[in-house]
Amino acid sequence: MSVPSEPADSSQPAVATAVPPGHAVVAREKQIPENGNEIISLWPTTIICGALLLLAGFILDYGGDHLSYGSLFREGYVRRTPPGSVATPLPPKTALEAYMARGKKVFEGKCITCHGPDAKGNGSTYPSLVGSAWANGETERFAMIILNGLQGKISNGRIYGVMPPQGIGMTPEELAGIMTYVRNYFGNTKGDVITSEMAKAAMKISAARKNAGQSVTAEELTADHVKALPGNPVDATTLVDPLTLEPVQAAAATAPAKAPVPGAAVAPAASPAPKTP
């Protein structure tokens, strides 16, 4: 038989059990930090940093050309030359290389969506430019198609989708470049260069059409534009400035005289030769 516990004697004074600060018992207890001073767990931080690294890698691999120099700076813009120094010209290229480089950029910006990266089109809506008589034939006809667009039957009675005009905002250098590029790439081997002078003539011819502002048709092209563009031809191997597309010798002859660099020694003018009696 168990003995019942005796009730607590309420007459006895309470014993203090408080532990002084700094005691070992207090040090073992988990401290509750104040609001705003909580310790951040490393796991969420690690996961967030890892996700950011994966996202950065994805952007660099699949971000296209959004971070490339060519997409951030307009074509033809170069670094400003500091005052008192002489700009170093870019090395010249052959006319064929320079015009094709200009045309490649135009093709990728205006033509690749419809004709595809290989210029073969899709066989139904967009025609192929590979071996095309319209691209490799008379240059005036080809220029009219690019500048004004094309609609209707174009070959063997076949009707493709309407080609929208590409001449809006196009410069003569860009027109010359895209024509040269298409005629000498994608298996096309014309070997000629359509110059800026020829492209300027094409734009004047296009503006003077009786149906200016409307797309050309095969009938109009055959009746009015089966001819070569006027202009002096340029040998494909001629060296030109890659920015201006001018022959390097002509550019040097027309370049303004360079101002002397401050502090540089200047040779004295030659004395006139004495007159002989």
The answer as to whether 122 is a domain residue is yes
Residue 186 has pLDDT above 50, yes or no: yes
Residue 171 has pLDDT above 50, yes or no: yes
- For residues 48 and 53, give the distance between their C-alpha atoms in angstroms, rounded to a whole number: 9
Q: List beta partners, residue 41.
A: none
pTM above 0.85, yes or no: no
Residues 54-81: tens digit of each pLDDT = 888 777 666 655 555 555 555 555 566 6
Residues 85-104: tens digit of each pLDDT = 666 778 999 999 999 999 99
Place of tokens 């600060």: 21
- For residues 171 and 169, give the distance between their C-alpha atoms in angstroms, rounded to a whole number: 6
The answer as to whether 62 is a domain residue is no
Residues 194-252: tens digit of each pLDDT = 999 999 999 999 999 999 999 999 999 999 999 999 999 999 999 999 999 999 975 55
Exposure letters 165-179 (e unless 16+ CB within 10 A, then b) = bbbeebbbbbbbbbb
How high is the pLDDT of residue 120? 94
Q: CATH code at 169? A: 1.10.760.10
Structural domain count of the chain: 1
Share above pLDDT 70 across residues of the chain, in percent, rounded to a whole number: 65
Share above pLDDT 90 across residues of the chain, in percent, rounded to a whole number: 49
The answer as to whether 202 is a domain residue is yes
The answer as to whether 4 is a domain residue is no
How high is the pLDDT of residue 16? 55
Q: CB under 8 Å to 97, separation ≥6 — which residues?
A: none
The answer as to whether 198 is a domain residue is yes
The answer as to whether 221 is a domain residue is yes
The answer as to whether 163 is a domain residue is yes
How much is the mean pLDDT over the chain? 80
The answer as to whether 237 is a domain residue is no
Task: Give the torsion sign (CA, 213, 214, 215, 218).
Answer: negative
Residue of 15, 43, 75, 44 whose CA lies nearest to 245: 75
Is there a contact between 209 and 145 (Cβ–Cβ < 8 Å)? no
Q: Which residue range forms the structural domain that includes residue 118?
A: 93-229
